[in-house]
Chains A and B, each alone.
Chain A
């Protein structure tokens, strides 16, 4: 199954994306680099192997739809969109600045973004609307939605979980970025979400449990999700907040904070 050449390509992309995340958030002086690092392999797998899209035609009807429900992961999404060719990489340095298309949290002004997110809990419901639309149009495009782990505290997520199961939306795949750390502490401290795999299964979802930084496992999971015909799939991706930069990994107190120039230099070295 493993394709060393593809994995190598994806790994290079991931490094470039992490460097862009640091560049944009350090230039902005704020943003969520560590939340973006935990989602990096997930986004890279989607945008550089799984999703069908054309950066020259962001509203191409046949594109697969991607929704970043954890909108604070915007720097990661923008980095991937720039890497994919939706807009020049230099634009990443406008992140969070007045007049920029790269708002602090995603908005449809930015090419490649379908909907505004940031207030948590809403992306999955929106994605269900997309998936139902694809069904009504008898179209074969698919919908992918990335949720945060703390986002599972939002009641709307579970409303949506039941709705997607009711309509047996096999064209909908959700991914859970399970990095265990939210703004004020670990999920275990703030409000435990375990047993999360059992929760999603009991809500009628096909639930897969993978290492969210392992491209092989992610590729397999998305293949399995596509092959599953009976309903929606949730990929619980176990990740590390701040992954890729030693002093950020699993470090507390880094949520929503940018690196200063010196820290950024150190991070670039590790990501070279």
Chain B
């Protein structure tokens, strides 16, 4: 068991709540931090910052494109803007604004989305952000981060304050298990091995890291030692960690709460195709829209579960051994 993991995963906490709280803490020590929201502060939890620092909080109303531009202007003047909305709106309604006003103009806006993936549950497909990673990865100059739990989220918020490049960070909605111990380092661009193993590697980000750990435990009971990598920085990818996992284990499974198209799985597959391929299994949304349901029901229906990771691991191992 890695010292970076908590002994037990029986406590839960929402990453968006950790975000709101960390932002307010950061605001107290850094007067250049400003926060923008588009009428979702109670959901993105930027309301915690807004209550403490009203003069540095800008509510722009339901106009995400405008929010991106305003944030870019504040970044241009040396402020450290965090702009938040749901993943679907923050990347979908705003693509050209992020491209021209933020990334191409090199204005270091910190875009922090909550309610990513299937997390909006009953709200249905209109609110489920499942293409955000693909959109942000495709754009030059954007760092993409998706923390695995509230502990990592808090560290990421503080890291972003000192990281003067455009960033997209994706968070959830529900309470997720707390995985990481306070010792777990967070460094942008660096994957973290949470469990050793050389039979295959399970690579995940966000909520699916905890599912990967569950799957690894069940695989261990079957005598299979699965390495688990928390790939909380998706872009730029920690290619060294991926390469090491491929070379040392010979089989990978990539699990993500995102469409298969354009996600981390494709990114890793492309990297391996050029640098030494090994069998890769994919656990991702099957390129379809979601629907209304509880997040748990939706994850079951669309196959984003620890059981699916486990099964995919066994299939991928069979391909490795058959090859």
**Measuring CB to CB, which residues of chain A are less than 8 angstroms from any residue of chain B?**
107-108, 114-119, 121-134, 136-137, 155-156, 159-160, 162-163, 166-167
Q: Interface SS of chain A: helix, strand, loop or mixed?
A: helix
| Residues of B close to A166: CB separation below 8 A | 60-61
| Residues of B close to A125: CB separation below 8 A | 65-70, 72-73, 97, 101
| Residues of A close to B81: CB separation below 8 A | 129
Interface size on B, as a range, is 20 to 34
Mark B184-197 against chain A: 1 for CB-CB distance below 8 A, else 0: 00000000000000
- A-B contacts besides A116-B100, A125-B97, A156-B66, 4 pairs, CB < 8 Å: A108-B106, A115-B73, A129-B75, A130-B77
B63 in the interface (beta carbon within 8 A): yes
B65 touches A159 (CB 8 A): yes
A130 touches B73 (CB 8 A): yes
Smallest Cβ-Cβ distance to B55: which chain A residue:
A136
**Partner pick for A108 among B61, B65, B75, B105, CB 8 A cutoff:** B105
B79 touches A133 (CB 8 A): yes
| Residues of A close to B73: CB separation below 8 A | 115, 125-133
Tell me the minimal C-beta distance from A238 to chain B in angstroms: 27
Smallest Cβ-Cβ distance to B97: which chain A residue:
A122
B101 touches A163 (CB 8 A): no
Tell me the minimal C-beta distance from B60 to chain A in angstroms: 5
**A156 and B300 alpha carbons, distance in the complex (Å):** 39
Q: Which parts of B54-109 form the interface with A (CB within 8 Å)?
A: 55-56, 58, 60-61, 63, 65-79, 81, 96-97, 99-101, 104-107
Tell me the minimal C-beta distance from A270 to chain B in angstroms: 36
Task: Count chain A CB atoms within 10 A of each CB in B77, B79, B104, B106 and give the residue with the most.
Answer: B77
**Can you report 6 residue pairs joining A to B where beta carbons are below 8 Å apart?**
A124-B69, A125-B68, A127-B73, A132-B70, A133-B74, A163-B63
Q: Which parts of B138-181 form the interface with A (CB within 8 Å)?
A: none
| Residues of B close to A126: CB separation below 8 A | 69-70, 72-73, 76, 101
A162 touches B69 (CB 8 A): no
Smallest Cβ-Cβ distance to B75: which chain A residue:
A129
| Residues of A close to B72: CB separation below 8 A | 115, 125-126, 129
B34 in the interface (beta carbon within 8 A): yes
B77 touches A156 (CB 8 A): no
B104 touches A107 (CB 8 A): yes
| Residues of A close to B76: CB separation below 8 A | 114-115, 126, 129-130, 133
| Residues of B close to A124: CB separation below 8 A | 69
Q: If the complex has contacts A129-B69, A132-B70, are A122 and B77 also in contact, measured as CB distance less than 8 A?
A: no
Tell me the minimal C-beta distance from A69 to chain B in angstroms: 10
**Partner pick for A128 among B56, B65, B69, CB 8 A cutoff:** B69
B74 touches A132 (CB 8 A): yes
Smallest Cβ-Cβ distance to A69: which chain B residue:
B69
Tell me the minimal C-beta distance from B75 to chain A in angstroms: 7
**Partner pick for B61 among A114, A123, A163, CB 8 A cutoff:** A163
| Residues of B close to A121: CB separation below 8 A | 65
**A159 and B93 alpha carbons, distance in the complex (Å):** 13
Tell me the minimal C-beta distance from B73 to chain A in angstroms: 2
